[in-house]
Amino acid sequence: MAKRFELNVNGQSHAIEAEPDMPLLYALRDDLGMKEPRFGCGLAQCGACTVLINGTPTRSCITRMDAVGAGKVMTLSGIGSAGKPHKVQAAFIEEQVPQCGYCLNGWVMTSVALLDKTPQPTDAQIRDALSGLKCRCGTHMSILRAVKRAAQA
């Protein structure tokens, strides 16, 4: 049975009618019309659907609506804009990371969370934080350089 949920997404409140077990990803894309996060595997294995909930990288494809509660959801569009990109977004552009761009959402959001928690991460900490994300284009070395660049910004 559908239930009313109050979501705080990118600092704005949204009321959504949904089944409690509906994935957050569906609410973000279908109900709120967001283009990111993306549906990748639907099994929390690729990371394309990653959002931050209270600053923690979370796979929205498996996060149920009733599990979000009063959590603050941040998406890629909430961290910066074309005119004023977040330092991670700027570093990804400077390092020319994007190829197809499909997976970019997960890499950027996870990197933002890492740098918020650990402003000067070691290479091992960066690799550990980003483990589990998939990029079929193979831009992994550029991504590592971008995260290091953002840490120095």
Q: Tell me what the mean pLDDT of segment 119-129 comes to.
A: 98
Looking up residue 86, the CATH number of its domain turns out to be: 1.10.150.120
Co-location of 58 and 112 in the same domain: no
- Pair (66, 85) in one structural domain: no
Last residue of a domain, one of 77, 94, 120: 77
List pLDDT tens digits, range 34-51. Answer: 999 999 999 999 999 999
In this prediction, residue 131 carries a pLDDT of 96
Same domain, 26 and 86: no
For the whole model, what pTM was predicted? Answer: 0.96
Structure tokens at 61: 């494809």
Same domain, 138 and 106: yes
Q: Which is nearest to 65 in space by CA: 5, 149, 131, 127?
A: 5
- Are 23 and 61 contacting, i.e. CB atoms less than 8 angstroms apart? yes
Provide CB contacts within 8 A for 24, sequence distance 6+: 51, 58, 60, 63, 64, 65, 67, 68, 73
Please enumerate in sequence order all residues whose Cβ is within 8 A of that of 128, keeping only pairs 6 or more positions apart, or say none: none
What's the pLDDT score for residue 79?
Answer: 97
Give the number of domains in the chain.
2
**pLDDT for residue 120:** 98
